Amino acid sequence: MPWVEPMTIPDFLLAAAIVVLAMVALGLVRILRGPAAADRMMAAQLFGTGGIAALLLLGVATEANAVIDVALTLALLAAFASVAFVQGASRPDRDNLKETNNP
C-alpha cells in the first residue's frame, strides 16, 4: 500500500509503552479493591513493574539515557519494597503476643 508509511522502531516502542501503561491502569483497580494486603502488594508490584517497563521503552525510543537510569533505580527500590513487605508480613503481630502471654 503506497499511502501507508512503515513503522519505525521508536514508533513501535512508543506504542508498546502505551499498551503497557494501559495494562498498568487496569492493575490500578486491583490496588484499590484488593481484598487482602498481599493482593494489594502484588498489584503494587505489577504497577511498579509496568511503570519501569514503560520508562525503559520510552528511554530506548527517545534515546534518553537518564530515563533508563531512573527506571533501573526504581526497579532496585521496588525489589527492596518487596523484601520489606515479606519481612513485615512474616513477623507475628506483637499485640497478639502480649495478649496471649498475660495470664
pLDDT in tens, 52-96: 999 999 999 999 999 999 999 999 998 888 888 888 877 776 555
* 62: helix, strand or coil: helix
Taking the C-alpha atoms of residue 29 and residue 41, their distance in angstroms, rounded to an integer, is: 13
Position 17 pLDDT exceeds 90? yes
Taking the C-alpha atoms of residue 1 and residue 42, their distance in angstroms, rounded to an integer, is: 45
**pTM: predicted TM-score of the whole model, two decimal places:** 0.73
C-alpha cell at 37: 494486603
Q: What is the CA radius of gyration of the chain?
A: 20
